[in-house]
Amino acid sequence: MRNGHTTSLLLFFFFFFFFFFLQLVFSELSPNQRTTMNQLYGLLLPNSQFSPPSPWNVTKDPNPCSWKGVTCTSNNSAITNLSLPFFSITSSDFLVSLCQIDTLEAVDLSNNHLSSIPDGFMTGCGKITGLKQLNISRSKLSGPLPTFNGFAKLESLDLSHNSLGGSIDLQLDGMVGLKSLNLGFNQFIGSVPINLGKSMVLEELGLSSNRFEGKFPEAIANYSHLTAIDLSLNGSIPGDLLSQSNLLSLDLSYNSLSGSIPANMSPTLVRLRLGNNQLNGTIPSSSFGSLQTLTYLELDNNSLSGPIPPELSSCKNLALLNLANNHLTGVLPVQLGVLSKLQELKLQFNNLFGEIPIQITQLQTLQKLNISWNSLYGSIPPSISSLQALTNLDLRCNNLSGSIPVSIGNLNFLIELQLGNNKLSGTIPLMPLTLQIALNLSSNLFEGPIPRTISKLIGLDVLDLSNNKFSGQIPDFLVEMTSLTQLVLSNNLLSGVIPKFLLFVTVDFYSVKGHCITDNSIHKSKLNLSNAMEAVSKPVNMMLKSEFCTYYKAVMPCGMSYCIKKLNWSCKAFQLLNPERFVQELMVLEYAYTMRVTPSGNVYSFGIVMLELLTGRPAISEGTELAKWVLTQTQLIHHNKWKEILDCRLLSDASRGVHDQMLSVLRIALGCIALSPDERPNAESLLDLLLDVTTI
């Protein structure tokens, strides 16, 4: 009896304290929301696909406001955002329950396993007056598009990358505030929807990769705020789409639009992107006279013909003019020389002929000039040195002749010079010492010895002198070019022995005339292991950290900087092997990785290192084989099967989160090995990209 009394007293205290404890922790979140969150927690658990720990743990942390993906108001009185991507949510009840939280502003349910949107969700969440963003992309939804009633404040709706089907009629028309709609990558059929909110405030519309049929609807032009349309569709651009009053920006790039560019354009246009379509006809000259604010004009990769209209010179604010990959003919209009704000001029892959007009060399702000793959002739004007802001100059694959003007050395910001496949001759002048990405003089008519001045280019990555008539001994001074990674000397009249580069230079050299050569192609310096170990022991040397490894900078006795990669033993994938055995294996073989730290940041090599790590395959001949293999695979295999490219040894042990990180790193690595150096991320953005991945 006494004992029983004590027990109930203890129970009372226990409950009191437990209750008190709950009260204390949840003092501000309303009981309703607390109950709902516990309900959601219960619905999440049984389906959890997570290798433990699960994202939410009520025992460990009873306050829902501090759970992963949950955002509350600053005083913790109400839940405002639920961001639950990759939560392995499968239950429709979960969707219905969460709508009880009537203070929600943003809900992200992307990357889950939901098969449909239940009616309870549509009615429940439709009533939430403050809901602005809803994202259920990539979540395996199928069936028809539900009707959105209510959702009065919804501004952004993303249902892309699901398997939704059927036609779209009035399901979305009830929303009054919708500004951004993405229905891309589904299986919708019928005609392109035109009822997308009666209030006509839509700004962005994504409809690409569906099975819509028919013509581009004229009525789309009624959405006067629309600035970006992505619909992979066909048909021509409606005549009045570009002329709506107050139109600032329109992006119709990467669709399958055909026909010609409408001549009437709104004088308020700042940015017009029509690239990567099938537009034909001429560039309408009359429209540009009045486009005083036009700053970005992109018409690239179409089938446009006729001349470049001189009237473009009226667009005084143009900063980017991209007309590349068309069938444009005629000469480079001298009038373009007045575009004093132009920063990029891209005219490559056209049929332009004639000489490079001196007026073009007066563009004081021009940074990138690409006129490659045309039929320009005559010589490079000495006034080219007036382009004082120029960083990349590409004149390859034309018919240019004469010698390179000596004044070219004055281009103090030039980092890339592409002059291959022309008819240039004479002596090579002193090149700008700023050159980094490449100096390519291949397939021209240069002759005589390789000039000594070339060795001053100590920041240069790639030097291609192939297919000329350079003669004499291969000079030793080439080894002074300490950033060089690729040297191409083939098809010249050179002889002798390739000098010993300190490290990592791929030398491509063979001779048509059968001169004596010794091709010792690839040089790797022997890494001083004790120096490397010492560098790795000091956190101050740390450069980058990812899920799998940390990169350290190490300076070798010879003065060269290396990037040393250390695998993170804590990563589950590597725990199978003990550290000692791993080192032994390294010595026997994964080669210990070394990477030159060049001034330009050898992003390509870094990409290769990442690929080796992700695929578990060795990089044969400095990565070219591996890069080729990965590029082919990623083109052949649909991106949701890219996992197959990854090292199965890593996959078998890693959690789903780690898989996704690996895929993200794979995407970054693909960027690093992009064929064109300027498509590769620079060292700083690379760091940001990697940090993004590792903090997900």
Ligand X SMILES: *[C@@H]1O[C@H](CO)[C@@H](O)[C@H](O)[C@H]1NC(C)=O
Q: Under the rule (CB under 6 A), what is the footprint of ligand X?
A: 28, 52-54, 57, 59-60, 71, 73, 75, 77, 80-81, 83, 85, 105-106, 110-111, 132-133, 135, 137-138, 156, 158, 180, 213, 218-219, 221-222, 234-235, 258, 276, 280-281, 301, 325, 348, 368, 370, 372, 375, 392, 394, 396-397, 399, 416, 418, 420-421, 440, 442-443, 462, 464, 486, 488, 528, 530-531, 557, 676, 678
For ligand X, give the closer residue by CB, 114 or 549: 114
**CA–CA distances in Å: residue 140 to residues 113, 136, 180, 550, 624:** 6, 9, 21, 36, 37
**Using the 8-state DSSP alphabet, how is residue 682 labeled?**
P
The least CB distance from residue 189 to ligand X, in Å, is 10
The least CB distance from residue 358 to ligand X, in Å, is 21
CB 680 within 8 A of CB 672: yes
For ligand X, give the closer residue by CB, 54 or 290: 54
| CA 335 – CA 623 distance, rounded (Å) | 46
The least CB distance from residue 678 to ligand X, in Å, is 5
The least CB distance from residue 642 to ligand X, in Å, is 16
Q: How many CB atoms lie within 10 A of CB 325?
A: 20
Which residues touch 200 (CB under 8 Å, ≥6 apart)?
222, 223, 224, 225
φ, ψ for residue 471, nearest 5 deg: -135, 180
Place of tokens 């949950």: 70
Which residues touch 540 (CB under 8 Å, ≥6 apart)?
none
CB 142 within 8 A of CB 115: yes
The least CB distance from residue 461 to ligand X, in Å, is 10
For ligand X, give the closer residue by CB, 302 or 615: 302
The least CB distance from residue 296 to ligand X, in Å, is 17
Which residues touch 587 (CB under 8 Å, ≥6 apart)?
none
Q: How many CB atoms lie within 10 A of CB 112?
A: 22
Which residue, judged by CB position, is nearest to ligand X in the bound state? 420
CB 274 within 8 A of CB 255: no
For ligand X, give the closer residue by CB, 434 or 568: 434
Largest CA-CA distance found in the chain, in angstroms, rounded = 113
For ligand X, give the closer residue by CB, 465 or 613: 465
For ligand X, give the closer residue by CB, 266 or 443: 443
| CA 268 – CA 290 distance, rounded (Å) | 9
**CA–CA distances in Å: residue 418 to residues 72, 332, 368, 461:** 55, 19, 12, 13
The least CB distance from residue 180 to ligand X, in Å, is 6
For ligand X, give the closer residue by CB, 290 or 525: 525
252: exposed, middle or buried (C-beta count within 10 Å: 0-12, 13-18, 19+)? buried
CB 116 within 8 A of CB 96: no
The least CB distance from residue 493 to ligand X, in Å, is 19
Q: How many CB atoms lie within 10 A of CB 330?
A: 15
The least CB distance from residue 639 to ligand X, in Å, is 13
For ligand X, give the closer residue by CB, 36 or 110: 110
